[in-house]
């Protein structure tokens, strides 16, 4: 394994079945070019002589099945070639799923529904990405579901989402987000409100069943579900709940034998539980990096991955919206109103008084038209941030991806905050 701290231009000759791993230094960018041979990044094939730019903090692996020549320019934190990768095992897994898809198509049944679980930083999102890309390359349109509320790949942190994947991910921009279905959860860990989390997972499961019944191609292609790293106690129960809600028939456990054995014991017999190794390239992220990553996701939502979007700023009179948050502080059982159970407080839709405390919070615009609708299970139309409050004028200023007016008037407040500073 050759290790390197890249400063300028570097040439890497990769043998068959090896990968070049690199991280982009803070404040820098790295350009990559495939000069010869064939290579892929997390399942997306690279085009020869096309330069791709990776931004600060990106952690990338360029894998080659038959050997290639890669040129890197820019400042990398680390760059090395490894021959020790689980790619053959991952591709075999894809092939097994492919067989299930063919059988589904032949017998007009449902394709594989795969739940990817494991602790944090084992490459769950990367494996989902890879399996989706390979499925698309084989002509399928799988559904991607992301219930990782901390590091969500479909929308922003604090949400759960689903979308149909019809094209391979772009190596620089990721999957194109056409019409994703997104639900507001409002926290960056499922542990903060497991009751609400499980309700939203059930809701997504129901919608996906309906959609798959309508869109035959997605039904054969199957569903790939990414999860967060919460695997113990209530987190384990949430995994079992998700397996049931999405009616999965395959559970892939990355890198944790204990979780694998527990799931083998607890899943119904028709569910295949598979243990896969993690790649040595997966980079562990500490709490600070996680927070930075979440901020970056929110910034990307408003400004685009490469500052290609131009968000709007405008004033909204307090009277034009109603803000709610989901979940009230828990009361001791003896203080509960008649007929209310402990746990009901977790799904309570609580009005929020507009004032300085709402500033910087992410707000999702609910598709619910009135408070009489089921706000809890209404999907999100988009997100805004309240960047300023004028109590005197009874107006607040928002950062919004689209111009005024807001499409609906019910806003759900997230715990997660974002300060719009460059």
CB of 174 to ligand ADP, least distance (A): 11
Which C-beta is closer to ligand ADP: that of 111 or that of 229? 229
Which C-beta is closer to ligand ADP: that of 292 or that of 377? 292
Site mask for ligand ADP (CB under 6 A), range 362-401, x = bound: ----------------------------------------
Taking CB under 6 A as the criterion, which residues in 336-365 touch ligand ADP?
A: none
Listed ranges 117-125, 138-146, 170-178, 310-318: which one lies at the site for ligand ADP (CB under 6 A):
117-125
Q: Is 297 in the site for ligand ADP (CB under 6 A)?
A: no
Which C-beta is closer to ligand ADP: that of 58 or that of 215? 58
d(CA 70, CA 12): 5
Q: Is 299 in the site for ligand ADP (CB under 6 A)?
A: no
- Candidates 24, 41, 46, 61; binder of ligand ADP (CB under 6 A) is 61
Q: Is 69 in the site for ligand ADP (CB under 6 A)?
A: no
Q: Is 294 in the site for ligand ADP (CB under 6 A)?
A: no
Assess contact for 37 and 74: CB atoms under 8 A: no
Q: Is 279 in the site for ligand ADP (CB under 6 A)?
A: yes
Site mask for ligand ADP (CB under 6 A), range 15-44, x = bound: ------x-----------------------
Listed ranges 256-264, 278-286, 294-302, 329-337: which one lies at the site for ligand ADP (CB under 6 A):
278-286
Q: Is 110 in the site for ligand ADP (CB under 6 A)?
A: no
CB of 306 to ligand ADP, least distance (A): 18
Q: Is 281 in the site for ligand ADP (CB under 6 A)?
A: yes
Which C-beta is closer to ligand ADP: that of 127 or that of 196? 127
Which C-beta is closer to ligand ADP: that of 275 or that of 381? 275
Q: Is 123 in the site for ligand ADP (CB under 6 A)?
A: yes
Listed ranges 8-16, 137-145, 279-287, 361-369: which one lies at the site for ligand ADP (CB under 6 A):
279-287
Which C-beta is closer to ligand ADP: that of 59 or that of 71? 59
Q: Is 296 in the site for ligand ADP (CB under 6 A)?
A: no
Assess contact for 242 and 115: CB atoms under 8 A: yes
Q: Is 125 in the site for ligand ADP (CB under 6 A)?
A: yes
* Residue 205 φ/ψ, nearest 5 degrees: -60, -45
Q: Is 120 in the site for ligand ADP (CB under 6 A)?
A: yes
Which C-beta is closer to ligand ADP: that of 97 or that of 116? 116
List, in order, residues 6 or more apart from 210 with CB less than 8 Å away: none
- Candidates 25, 40, 121, 146; binder of ligand ADP (CB under 6 A) is 121
Give the chain as a 3 state SS string.
CCEECCCCEEEEEECCCEEEEEEECCCCCEEEEEEEECCEECCEECCECCCEEECCCCEEEEEECCCEEEEEEECEEEEEEECCCCHHHHHHHHHHHHHHHHHHHHHCCCCCEEEEECCCCCCHHHHHHHHHHHHHHCCCCCEEEECCCCCCCCCCCCEEEEEECCCCCECCCECCCCCCEEEECCCCCHHHCHHHHHHHHHHHHHHHHHHHHHCHHHHHHCEEEECCCCCCCHHHHHHHHHHHHCCCCEEEEECCHHHHHHHHHHCCCCCEEEEECCCCCCCCCCHHHHHHHHHHHHHHHHHCCCCCCCCEEEEEEHHHCEEEEECCCCCCHHHCCCCCCCCHHHHCEEECCCCHHHCCEEEEEECCCCCCCCHHHCCEEEEEEEEEEECCCCEEEEEECCCCCCCCCEEEEEEEECCCCC
Q: Which residue has the tokens 């997306």?
A: 44
Kindly list the residues in this chain that would bind ligand ADP in the complex (CB under 6 A). 21, 59, 61, 120-126, 229, 279, 281-283
């Amino acid at each position: 394994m050759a290790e390197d701290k890249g400063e300028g231009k570097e040439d890497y000759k990769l043998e068959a079945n090896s990968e070049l791993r690199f991280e982009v230094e803070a404040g820098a960018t790295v350009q990559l070019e495939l000069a010869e041979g064939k290579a892929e990044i997390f399942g997306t094939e690279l085009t020869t002589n096309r330069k791709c730019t990776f931004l600060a903090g990106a952690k990338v692996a360029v894998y080659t099945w038959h050997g290639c020549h890669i040129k890197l320019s820019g400042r990398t934190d680390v760059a090395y070639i490894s021959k020790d990768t689980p790619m053959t095992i991952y591709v075999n897994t894809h092939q097994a799923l492919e067989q299930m898809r063919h059988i589904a198509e032949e017998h007009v049944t449902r394709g594989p529904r795969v739940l990817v679980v494991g602790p944090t930083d084992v490459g769950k999102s990367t494996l989902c990405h890879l399996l989706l890309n390979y499925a698309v390359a084989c002509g399928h349109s799988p559904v991607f579901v992301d219930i990782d509320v901390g590091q969500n790949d479909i929308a922003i942190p604090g949400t759960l989402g689903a979308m149909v994947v019809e094209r391979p991910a772009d190596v620089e921009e990721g999957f194109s987000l056409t019409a994703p279905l997104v639900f507001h959860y409002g926290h960056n860990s499922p542990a903060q409100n497991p009751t609400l989390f499980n309700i939203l997972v059930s809701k997504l499961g129901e919608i996906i069943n309906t959609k798959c019944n309508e869109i035959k191609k997605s039904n054969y292609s199957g569903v790939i579900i990414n999860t967060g790293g919460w695997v113990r106690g209530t987190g384990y129960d949430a995994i079992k709940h998700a397996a049931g809600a999405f009616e999965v028939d395959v559970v892939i456990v990355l890198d944790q034998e204990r979780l694998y054995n527990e799931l083998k014991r607890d899943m119904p017999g028709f569910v295949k539980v598979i243990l896969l190794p993690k790649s040595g390239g997966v980079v562990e992220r500490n709490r600070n990096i996680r927070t930075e990553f979440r901020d970056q996701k929110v910034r990307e939502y408003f400004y685009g991955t490469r500052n290609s979007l131009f968000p709007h700023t405008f004033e909204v009179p307090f009277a034009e919206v109603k803000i709610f948050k989901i979940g009230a502080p828990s009361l001791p059982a003896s203080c509960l109103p008649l007929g209310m159970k402990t746990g009901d407080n977790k799904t309570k839709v609580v009005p929020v008084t507009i004032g300085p405390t709402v500033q910087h919070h992410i707000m999702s615009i609910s598709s619910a038209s009135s408070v009489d609708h089921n706000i809890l299970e209404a999907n999100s139309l988009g997100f805004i941030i309240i960047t300023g409050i004028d109590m005197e004028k009874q107006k607040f200023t928002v950062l919004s991806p689209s111009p005024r007016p807001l499409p609906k008037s019910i806003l759900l407040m997230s715990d997660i905050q974002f300060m719009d500073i460059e």
